[in-house]
Amino acid sequence: MEEKFVFDSKKRWVLGSGMILGLLCMLITFFKDDELHTRFWTNYLHNTVFFVGIALMSLFILAAFTTAFAGWSTLIKRVWEAYALFLVPGLVLLLVLIIGVWGHWHHLYHWADAEAVKTDKVMFGKSGFLNKYWYTFGTIIVVGAWIYFAQRIRKYSVEEDANGPGEDFSYHRKIRTLSVIFLPIAGFSSAAMVWQWVMSLDAHWYSTLFAWYSGSSWFLAAIALTILLIIYLKAQGYMPKVTANHLHDLGKYLFGISVFWTYLWFSQYMLIWYANVGEETIYFRERLDNYKPLFFLNLLFNFVAPFFVLMRNDTKRKVGTMVFASIVVFVGHWLDFFLMVKPGARLTALEAMAHHAGEVHDAASHGSGLPFAMGFSFPGLLELGTMFGFLCLFLYMAFTQLAKASLVPKNDPYLEESLHHHVV
Amino acid sequence: MSVVVSPIREPLIEGGKTYHQITEDICSPTEKAPNFAWVLAFTLSSIFLGLFLFTVAWTIWFGIGTWNLNRTIGWGWDITNFVWWIGIGHAGTLISAILLLFRQRWRTGVNRAAEAMTIFAVMCAGQFPLIHMGRLWLAFFIFPYPNTRGPLWVNFNSPLLWDVFAISTYFTVSVLFWYTGLVPDLATLRDRSKGIRRKLYNIFSFGWTGAAKHWQRFESLSLVLAGLSTPLVLSVHTIVSFDFATSVIPGWHTTIFPPYFVAGAIFSGFAMVQTLMLITRKVLKLEEYITLQHIDSMNKVILVTGTIVGVAYLTELFIAWYSGYLYEQYAFYNRVLGPYWWSYVGMMACNVLSPQVFWSRKIRRSITWTFAMSIFVNIGMWFERFVIIATTLARDYLPSSWSYYVPTWVEIGIFLGTLGLFFTLFLIFTRVAPVVAVAEVKSILKAAGDQYTGPNAAKHHHHHTAVAAQTGAH
Task: Specify the pLDDT at position B457.
Answer: 61
- pLDDT: which is higher, B455 or A282: A282
Task: Specify the pLDDT at position B138.
Answer: 87
pLDDT band, residue A362 (cuts 50/70/90): low
Give the residue on A whose Cα is nearest the Cα of B254: A208
Facing A417 at nearest CB: one of B6, B248, B300: B6
Q: Could you report the per-residue pLDDT of A156-214, keeping only the tens digit for each?
A: 999 998 888 877 889 999 999 999 999 999 999 999 999 999 999 999 999 999 999 99
Q: Is the pLDDT of residue A140 over 60?
A: yes
Count of helices and strands (H, E) across chain A = 17, 0
Residue A52 has a CB neighbour count (10 Å cut-off) of 24
The ranges assigned to domains in chain B are 69-136+154-281+293-405
Task: Specify the pLDDT at position B468.
Answer: 40
Give contacts of B248 with chain A, Cβ < 8 Å. Answer: 275-277
Task: Specify the pLDDT at position A424.
Answer: 66
Is the Cβ–Cβ distance between B82 and B414 less than 8 Å? no
Task: Specify the pLDDT at position B107.
Answer: 85
Evaluated on CA atoms A225, A231, A236, A242, the torsion sign reads: positive
Task: Specify the pLDDT at position A365.
Answer: 53
**CA proximity to A292, closest of A354, A377, A383:** A377
Taking CB atoms within 8 Å and a gap of at least 24, the contacts of B50-56 are: B50/B420, B51/B413, B51/B416, B51/B417, B51/B420, B52/B127, B52/B413, B52/B414, B52/B416, B52/B417, B52/B418, B52/B420, B52/B421, B53/B417, B54/B413, B54/B417, B55/B410, B55/B413, B55/B414, B55/B417, B56/B127, B56/B131, B56/B414, B56/B417
ipTM metric? 0.89
Q: Do A411 and B468 touch (CB under 8 A)?
A: yes
Q: Do A416 and B259 touch (CB under 8 A)?
A: no
- pLDDT: which is higher, B461 or A413: A413
Q: Do A204 and B246 touch (CB under 8 A)?
A: no
Q: Could you report the per-residue pLDDT of A56-106, keeping only the tens digit for each?
A: 999 999 999 999 888 899 999 999 999 999 999 999 999 999 999 999 898
Q: A359-363, A375-379, B89-93: which has the minimum mean pLDDT?
A: A359-363
Task: Specify the pLDDT at position A152.
Answer: 96
Q: Do A184 and B322 touch (CB under 8 A)?
A: no
Q: Is the pLDDT of residue A228 over 90?
A: yes
Half-sphere exposure of B239 (CA within 13 A, CB side): 20
- Mutation site for B-interface testing, chosen from A157, A180, A208, A269 by largest number of B Cβ within 10 Å: A208
Count of all residues that appear for chain B in the document = 474
pLDDT band, residue A42 (cuts 50/70/90): very high
Is the Cβ–Cβ distance between B299 and B274 less than 8 Å? yes
Count of helices and strands (H, E) across chain B = 21, 0
Looking at residue A7, its amino acid is: F
Q: Do B325 and A279 touch (CB under 8 A)?
A: yes
Task: Specify the pLDDT at position A360.
Answer: 60
Task: Specify the pLDDT at position B454.
Answer: 67
Task: Specify the pLDDT at position A335.
Answer: 96
Q: CA A366 to CA A358: how far, in whole Å? A: 19
Is the Cβ–Cβ distance between A86 and A398 less than 8 Å? yes
- As a whole number, mean pLDDT of residues A221-233 equals 96
Q: Do A415 and B5 touch (CB under 8 A)?
A: no
Q: CA B311 to CA A411: how far, in whole Å? A: 36
Task: Specify the pLDDT at position B471.
Answer: 38
Task: Specify the pLDDT at position B91.
Answer: 79
Task: Specify the pLDDT at position B25.
Answer: 85
Task: Specify the pLDDT at position A239.
Answer: 92
Distance, in angstroms, between B416 CA and closest chain A CA?
A: 34
Distance, in angstroms, between B6 CA and closest chain A CA?
A: 5
Facing A413 at nearest CB: one of B6, B311, B316: B6
Pick the CATH number of B69-136+154-281+293-405 from 1.20.1630.10, 1.10.260.40, 1.10.490.20, 1.10.10.10: 1.20.1630.10
Task: Specify the pLDDT at position A285.
Answer: 93
Give contacts of A63 with chain B, Cβ < 8 Å. Answer: none
10 Å CB burial of residue A352 (0-12, 13-18, 19+) is: buried
Q: Do B311 and A169 touch (CB under 8 A)?
A: no
Task: Specify the pLDDT at position B455.
Answer: 67
Mean pLDDT over each residue of chain A, to the nearest integer: 92
Give the residue on A whose Cα is nearest the Cα of B319: A208
Residues lower than pLDDT 50 in chain B: 1, 459-474
Q: CA B380 to CA B348: how far, in whole Å? A: 7
Q: Could you report the per-residue pLDDT of B213-247, keeping only the tens digit for each?
A: 999 999 899 888 888 888 888 899 999 999 999 99
SS3 A378: strand
Task: Specify the pLDDT at position A327.
Answer: 97
